[in-house]
Amino acid sequence: MYVFCSTVRVKLWKLRLISGKWKTDNGGNKMSLEVKNLVKKYGNKVVVNNLSFKMDEPGVYALLGTNGAGKTTTIRIILGMLSYDEGEILWNGAPMDPLNVNLGYLAEERGLYPKYSLMDQLLYFASLKKIPKDVAKERIAYWAKRLEVEEYLYPEKTTVKQKKQKEKTADQLSKGNQQKIQMMCALISDPEFVVLDEPLSGLDPVNSDLFKSIIRELIEKKKYIIMSSHQMATIEEFCKDITILNRGNVVLQGDLNEIKKSYGRVNMIIKCEEDIDDYIEKMNMKVVNKTPDGYQIKVSGESEAKNFLQKLVEDNITIIKYELREPSLHEIFVEKVGETHEEQ
């Protein structure tokens, strides 16, 4: 066991930041996270430029951007893993000390120790956060069942010699199951503040749904969550407020529903029995996508959509499906960062 502890000491700084100390807000006081005018530079290069946002109620806040936009750097600054040049990070109105906040961190870079038993690693993470061993074991049992990894943490006896099977090590698990163990590490302290960096990356649909159910559980428990993801549909499913970064700068920020409303209903979905390509061409309309389920057409607003629909009706075109909706977050994201990202 001493060898295990000596080995992991090299990465102690990283492990301590995964969930901070074991501390809860027993008074039920309302908490808040505020990032104010944050600036981070590497030499003359500004990687985070005057970033500000605030979480003053539980829920999920999305920090979005292309690769290299500054979102992971921002996360690491909040967690105390990186220094910063200007600005403030406040927790409950005071300068944030990550070691005095009960936080959980699921990093994009997975980092279990490949040759050590899963149970030993989970108990070690728990000990770093001052969690009593009996409490840690209860929580491990709960999350093992919840994440469907009991067979890897609680090996059964064989039927022949009734000897206990060897405990599993991380390198014996699939990437998806390793990710489940890391999620357990992030949640074992019952954190009040959770950071999820690409939580669904590499997961199959079944396990993606399982992780989503975990996120819903955290929301129901009134946790404060920052999520970074390239899966825009997932962000739309969980997040109320968003910040989109590009080259370290904020290009869009605010309430996601309000942002979408500001664009108006500019996506027309239509399917007809007859071919309508000539109508689309004559009215100079932009087809975003054409599938067996119909056309997705970008319109300037409801008036243009109404004129197009009226023309089809006048010519006795049979309309099977018609919908006019706001743009998706994916479309907004591409609009905001697509062209500038291509120029890099």
In 179-329, where do the E strands start and end? 193-197, 224-228, 241-246, 249-255, 267-272, 286-291, 294-298, 319-325
CA 75 to chain centroid, in Å, comes to 12
Q: In which residue ranges of the chain is pLDDT below 70?
A: 1-29, 157-165, 339-344
Domain boundaries, the chain: 2-260, 265-325
pTM: 0.81
Q: Which helix (H) or strand (E) holds 121?
A: helix 118-128
Residue 164 is which amino acid? K
Q: How far apart are CA 244 and CA 329, in angstroms?
A: 11
List the one residue out of 336, 340, 332 whose CA is nearest residue 263. 332
All residues at 6 or more sequence positions from 207 whose CB lies less than 8 Å from its CB, including other chains: 176, 179, 180
Q: How far apart are CA 39 and CA 161, in angstroms?
A: 62
Residues 79, 102: contact at Cβ < 8 Å? Answer: no
- Fold of the domain built from segment(s) 265-325: Alpha-Beta Plaits (3.30.70)
Which pLDDT score is estimated for 113?
87
Residues 268, 324: contact at Cβ < 8 Å? Answer: yes
What CATH number should be reported for the domain whose range is 2-260?
3.40.50.300
In this chain, the answer to whether the domains covering 2-260 and 265-325 adopt an identical fold is: no
pLDDT tens, residue by residue, 128-170: 999 999 999 999 999 999 999 999 998 775 455 555 667 788 8
Q: How many CB atoms lie within 10 A of CB 158?
A: 10
Which pLDDT score is estimated for 29?
58
Which pLDDT score is estimated for 164?
60
Which pLDDT score is estimated for 202?
85
Q: Which tokens sit at 18?
A: 């995964």
